[in-house]
């Protein structure tokens, strides 16, 4: 692939977007009393990742790094929330490991984007 012309072409965006869909799916089975608690927090953190990638990309190079840093922060929040979901018994070990692996891939990609931006 040549020059990226849209945030939707970024691998980190694509993986983060798929992660959001997975988070929505897994939180559907959380207890009703968590709807405004952990369910809501996990969904907001997850949605924040591709949203910040998209917004930063569209704003341009000058602000892009800051939006990527916010996305990394949201990913860190989601990592904590996934662990809580597992430890509270809402997420099984296999699903947790899969989601955690996907999240770690997104974080690595975001960090590599940040590194590339800092060398320009």
DSSP 21: H
Residue 1 has pLDDT above 60, yes or no: no
pLDDT of residue 5: 84
pLDDT one-digit tens code per residue, 6-46:
899 999 999 999 999 999 999 999 999 999 999 999 999 99
DSSP 4: -
pLDDT of residue 120: 63
Q: How confident is the model at residue 94 (pLDDT cuts 50, 70, 90)?
A: very high
CATH number of 7-118: 1.20.1440.60
pLDDT of residue 44: 98
The torsion defined by the Cα of 50, 114, 112 and 73, in degrees rounded to 10, comes to: -50
57-to-33, 68, 88, 93 alpha-carbon distances in Å: 37, 9, 36, 35
pLDDT of residue 61: 78
């Amino acid at each position: 692939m040549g020059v990226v012309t849209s945030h939707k072409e970024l691998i980190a965006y694509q993986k983060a977007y798929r992660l959001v869909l997975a988070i929505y799916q897994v939180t559907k089975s959380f207890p009703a009393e968590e709807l405004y608690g952990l369910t809501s927090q996990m969904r907001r953190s997850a949605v924040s990742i591709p949203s910040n990638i998209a917004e930063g990309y569209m704003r341009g190079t000058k602000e892009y790094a800051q939006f990527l840093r916010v996305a990394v922060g949201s990913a860190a929040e989601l990592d904590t929330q996934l662990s809580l979901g597992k430890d509270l018994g809402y997420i099984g070990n296999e699903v947790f490991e899969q989601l955690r692996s996907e999240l770690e891939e997104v974080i690595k990609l975001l960090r590599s984007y940040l590194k590339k931006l800092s060398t320009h």
